[in-house]
């Protein structure tokens, strides 16, 4: 028998950045229609491409909306509604998002709960109207479906996604069925793509026995991977070794 693993979904199993970015663009058009009047498909493609770069800063889904607008203001200065984006770069977003986010929330007079509700509503409408296209906007990392299919280890999925969406992606994209009681489960080996999450796990004494892995293929930066390598509790895990861990 193998070990027991709790796997993060987004950024470890599934690359959902394309879907979340497209959903954020759809939601941003609803929230700030005037700013997107002159935005063509080429500009939308550019925004989605840049979202792959800044995705490591996202902790909660609604932040994707803020990033979409911020990227638009970086690209088209005339539409800028505040001085927050002045002189800012994509690299600067990666370095200082925790400081930038409250500033733009205040400058744009935004409400977190309203953005959360809007993002969820737009995503749910997309799923309801065209589930196949929504599923197609996601992809599994190379080798992960086979790793899950042939794992002798006991696998749990830890995700903020609603379970039916994670289940649909696993079945439709990976051909994998994981019992519902194992989605949102806990485990003794935790594979995560966010360094901040693993650092929080370290603070919990009851989790001292867990082996912690940072998947270097997910939504993290080189700086974060270097920091993780300096922390004895955290092991860097390459995608090519992922299957071996689950055997």
For the beta carbon of residue 71, count every other beta carbon within 10 angstroms: 26
Of 246, 65, 70, residue with least CA distance to 157: 246
Domain residue ranges in the chain: 4-15+138-246, 17-133
What 3-state class would DSSP assign to 209? coil
- pLDDT value of residue 80: 67
Tokens of 223: 């700086």
Q: What is the pLDDT of residue 187?
A: 45
pTM: predicted TM-score of the whole model, two decimal places: 0.82
Q: Are 63 and 101 in contact (CB under 8 A)?
A: yes
Contact between 79 and 100 (Cβ < 8 Å): no
pLDDT tens series, the chain, 247 aa: 568 888 999 999 999 999 999 999 999 999 999 988 888 999 999 999 999 999 999 988 899 999 999 999 988 877 666 677 778 889 999 999 999 999 999 999 999 999 999 998 999 999 999 999 999 999 999 999 999 999 888 888 888 777 778 888 999 988 998 888 787 633 456 888 999 989 988 888 877 778 899 999 999 999 999 999 999 999 999 999 988 888 7
What confidence score (pLDDT) does residue 189 get?
Answer: 66
Report the CATH superfamily, name and number, of domain 4-15+138-246: HAD superfamily/HAD-like (3.40.50.1000)
CA 48, CA 74: separation in Å to the nearest integer? 14
Compute and round to an integer the Cα radius of gyration of the chain. Answer: 19
């Amino acid at each position: 028998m193998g070990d027991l693993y709790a796997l993060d979904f987004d950024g470890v199993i599934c690359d959902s950045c394309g879907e979340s970015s497209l959903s954020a663009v759809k939601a941003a058009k609803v929230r700030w229609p005037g700013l997107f009047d002159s935005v063509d498909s080429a500009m939308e493609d550019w925004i989605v491409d840049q979202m792959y770069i800044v995705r490591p800063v996202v902790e909660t889904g609604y932040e994707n909306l803020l990033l979409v607008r911020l990227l638009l203001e970086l690209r088209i200065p005339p539409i800028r509604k505040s001085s927050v984006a002045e002189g800012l770069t994509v690299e600067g977003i990666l370095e200082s998002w925790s400081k930038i986010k409250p500033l733009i929330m205040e400058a744009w007079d935004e409400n977190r709960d309203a953005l959360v509700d809007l993002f969820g509503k737009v995503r749910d409408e997309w799923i309801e109207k065209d589930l196949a296209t929504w599923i197609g906007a996601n992809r599994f990392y190379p080798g992960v479906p086979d790793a899950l299919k042939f794992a002798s280890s006991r696998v749990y999925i830890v995700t903020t996604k609603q379970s039916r969406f994670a289940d649909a992606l696993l079945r439709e994209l990976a051909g994998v069925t994981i019992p519902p009681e194992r989605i949102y489960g806990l485990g003794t080996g935790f594979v995560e793509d966010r360094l901040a999450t693993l650092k929080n796990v370290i603070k919990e004494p009851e989790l001292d026995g867990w082996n912690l892995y940072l998947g270097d293929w997910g939504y993290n930066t080189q700086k974060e991977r270097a920091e993780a390598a300096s922390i004895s509790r955290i092991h860097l895990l390459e995608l090519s070794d992922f299957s071996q861990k689950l055997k």
